[in-house]
Amino acid sequence: MHAEIFTVCDAATVQQGKLNILGSFDTLTFGSFPYRYPAFCIVAKVRFSIDEIGSHTVEVRWMDADGEIVDRYPVAECEVDFTPGRDIWQHVFHLSEKEFYAPTEYQLQIVVDATLLASIPLYIKGNKPEE
Please report which helix (H) or strand (E) contains residue 125, including its range: strand 115-126
pLDDT at residue 83 in the model: 72
Distance from the Cα of residue 21 to its chain's centroid: 12
> What are the tens digits of pLDDT across the range 61-117?
999 999 999 999 877 678 888 776 678 889 999 999 999 999 999 999 999 999 999
Residue (of 2, 12, 5) closest to 93 by Cα position: 12
Whole-model pTM above 0.85? yes
Computed over every residue of the chain, the mean pLDDT equals 91
pLDDT at residue 85 in the model: 60
Long-range contacts at 32-35 (CB < 8 A, ≥ 24 apart): 32/126, 33/100, 33/101, 33/102, 33/103, 33/126, 34/99, 34/100, 34/101, 34/102, 35/99, 35/100
Q: What is the spatial distance between Cα 64 and Cα 31, in angstroms, rounded to a whole number? A: 21
Q: What confidence category does residue 125 fall into, taking pLDDT thresholds of 50, 70 and 90?
A: very high
Residue (of 55, 102, 53) closest to 81 by Cα position: 53
- Sheet with 69-80: list strands edge to edge: 27-30, 115-126, 104-112, 54-63, 69-80
pLDDT at residue 79 in the model: 85
What structural domains does the chain harbor? Answer: 2-126 (2.60.40.10)
